[in-house]
Amino acid sequence: MTAQPLRPSGDDLFARWSPRRVNRVALLAAALCGAAAGLAFPPIDLWALMPLGLIGLGALLRHQPARRGLARGLAFGLAYYLVLIRWMIVIGWWPYLGLAAVMALWLGLLGAVTAVASRWPGWPCYAAACWVAVEWVASRVPLGGFPWGRLAYAGAGSPIEGLYPLVSVSGVSFLIVLSSFSLAAGLAWARRSRWAPLTASLVGLGLIGLGSWAGQSYQPCPEQGTVSVGLIQGNVPSTGLGALGPGRTTTHNSLAETIVLAARAQTGQLDQPDFVVWPESSTDMDPERDQSTGQLVEWARRLVDRPLLIGTLTMGPESGQRRTSSVWWESSDQTGDRYHKKNIVPFGEWIPARSFFLPLIPELELIGAQTVAGSGPGVVWGQTADGQPLPIGVLICFEVGYDDSADQMLRGSSDRPGGQVIVVQTNNSALTGTGQMAQQDAITRIRAMEARREIAVATTNSLAGFIGADGRLLWQAELERSAATTVQMPRRQGLTVAVAHRHSIELGLVLGPVAVWLALAGGRLVRRRSRHSAALSRRLGPVGGDRM
């Protein structure tokens, strides 16, 4: 009998692969990890896939050269965004692929930095700090940034949601990366029968869970009375870029639902509102310049006998420009305070390098006049039915994803206090039938958790609702249906730890690990020089003495 050859082990199998084959498999694995992390977001909402995808990414980046880290980070990022923003296909394949590619570059950079940092002790902490820094920059650069892919925005309904009012959205992203990469490092050490790092990682996870449990009991600011707010979802006739239909269609639809609201309030089925909120684009023409639109809005106000907070387009400040605005409408002769949207969408509301792109992509003509960004905090001054002044915090559509806009709305300014009730006006009807609506709804719920404030949402056709201070849905309209209701909103002032100290938290998360690394590196340098000096002294022997 001849001896049978032993079957090679898994390590031997990989050792026989060529480096090129190993790299190809690693790129595929990184892409699968990115796709898994993307599925953690709504509408799939498998939040447990987020840490699993990051654990896989951490394992693929450990002890790799920077160029491989860059390639694997890019593969992860491209798959991540292709899954996350697949709703962009409605706008077009090129915008979809282009945005995914641009955002993947940021994760490629993270991959390169993490690969280098993975050689240092405590590397998951440095990697998490870099992740927070890149999320901060990517939310602002280029063209105003795109914050949609922040890891923390997948946390609504997960065991970590209690952390939002304590450590902010950035802190939650930091902890997700830290815990996931720590587990990746711990599992690698466990293969070598060194269980202490894995044990420490599991203990850290337990502490994060304990912190989340403690955060669930974080109380909102005390009530200072209540306000009755009417919410309108007028619906739209179509989908895609022409979803709003012919001119003034959304205004007619919003008027129709306001009539329903007024009738139900007069018959006692609903509370009489102090004011009524119409969604973004509820008037697709400037009601102060277009007489027919202004008449429709004024009829609605008279029927309900209350002021309206309308989402509209206002022309100016210069010829050929417009602004996306929230306007307090008391009457056709007396429009009140207003707020102009700051975070406007490139290639959706305005066209960068317009003279270059318009001839290249004629479809961009559908965007119309160039939208101009507003400034200042998102606060509109209104009043209650008994005449009391009421500062209303306003976020318009995508602004819910931007920390600066959310914070300014709550903090106010030196001459304008922050909002006491929070309203989101949105129109994402072009994306009807996609996961974008559920994603924006989840981000809005996270904002409620982070600020511990109730939020009323008025939309054209996508999940108008009322969100509690703990992020729970208290009322929500159906998709692609008209709806109207009245909700009771507590008036609140004050800020949570997360909102009041957001910048300090972010600086601490980013600079803290860097300071620790510099201290450790300095200590190692001092010890190395001390050992070198001691060795040199031993070689030279004692200095001085008689030489005979």
The Cα 306–Cα 330 span in angstroms is 8
pLDDT digits (tens, 9 = 90+) for 251-268: 999 999 999 999 999 999
135-144, 355-364, 377-386: the lowest-pLDDT one: 355-364
**Hey, what are 465's tokens?**
């609702």
Instruction: Assess whether pLDDT exceeds 50 at residue 36.
Output: yes
Q: Give me the pLDDT at residue 541, please.
A: 67
The Cα 372–Cα 382 span in angstroms is 24
Counts of helices then strands in the chain (DSSP H, E): 15, 15
**Hey, what are 213's tokens?**
């449990």
Q: Give me the pLDDT at residue 7, please.
A: 44
Sort strands 455-459 and 465-467 into parallel, antiparallel or unpaired: antiparallel
The Cα 482–Cα 434 span in angstroms is 18
| CB burial readout 293-309, b (16+ within 10 A) else e | bbebbbebbebbebbbb
pTM for the full predicted model:
0.90
Q: Give me the pLDDT at residue 198, please.
A: 62
Q: Give me the pLDDT at residue 22, please.
A: 86
Instruction: Assess whether pLDDT exceeds 80 at residue 380.
Output: yes
pLDDT bucket at 199, cuts 50 / 70 / 90: low
Q: What percent of the chain has pLDDT over 90?
A: 66
Instruction: Assess whether pLDDT exceeds 80 at residue 396.
Output: yes
H-helix segments, 452-496: none
pLDDT digits (tens, 9 = 90+) for 158-179: 889 999 999 999 999 999 999 9
Q: Is 487 helix (H, G, I), strand (E, B) or coil?
A: strand
**Side-chain half-sphere exposure of 100, counting CA atoms within 13 A:** 24
Asked if residue 299 lies in contact with residue 252, where contact means CB atoms within 8 angstroms, the answer is: no
pLDDT bucket at 95, cuts 50 / 70 / 90: confident
pLDDT digits (tens, 9 = 90+) for 76-94: 999 999 999 999 998 888 8
The Cα 387–Cα 402 span in angstroms is 33
pLDDT digits (tens, 9 = 90+) for 137-150: 999 998 899 999 99
Nearest to 279 by CA among 326, 345, 330: 326
Q: Considering the chain, what is the average pLDDT of its residues?
A: 89
The Cα 459–Cα 36 span in angstroms is 30
Q: Which tops the pLDDT comparison, 469 or 416?
A: 469
Sign of CA dihedral 206, 211, 212, 216: positive
Asked if residue 323 lies in contact with residue 283, where contact means CB atoms within 8 angstroms, the answer is: no
Overall average pLDDT of the 282-287 stretch: 94
